Amino acid sequence: MTSIHNARYGWPHRRLRAAWAPYVEAGLVDCRRGVDCLAPVLRLKPGEPWDLGHPDETCEKPTAPEHEACNRRTMSRARRAARTKRGKRATPRRSKAW
Ligand SMILES: [Zn+2]
């Protein structure tokens, strides 16, 4: 479990996060989730906890900052989706939904 997590969020992730940080801290970045955002305000507030969101099954937008809460909710949602999908049919991983 832990090794998979580290492989996905290794140093390139941290470097990307560091590249975004000044913009988030300046209050210039909107949550990547857009309409799926959980927060009352889409804009990431300076000092607010945020995660670097990756393209996934629920949001295919490019890697960008999003609220920590939005990121965590999606992770559990994706896990749920993976569980239900198994009952239907195994679809190969696609880079785009369309
Ligand atoms: Zn959000």
Low-confidence ranges of the chain (pLDDT < 50): 1
- Predicted local distance difference test score (pLDDT) of residue 83: 74
44-49 contacts: CB < 8 A, separation 24 or more? Answer: none
Distance 87 CA to ligand 1 centre (A): 30
The helix/strand/coil state of 64 is strand
Distance 37 CA to ligand 1 centre (A): 4
Distance 34 CA to ligand 1 centre (A): 7
- Distance CA(42)–CA(32), nearest Å, equals 9
pTM of the model: 0.66
- Give the residue carrying structure tokens 């290794």: 10
Distance 25 CA to ligand 1 centre (A): 15
Distance 26 CA to ligand 1 centre (A): 17
- Predicted local distance difference test score (pLDDT) of residue 64: 95
Q: Which residues pair with 66 in a beta bridge?
A: 51
The helix/strand/coil state of 66 is strand
Tokens, residue 81: 């989706």
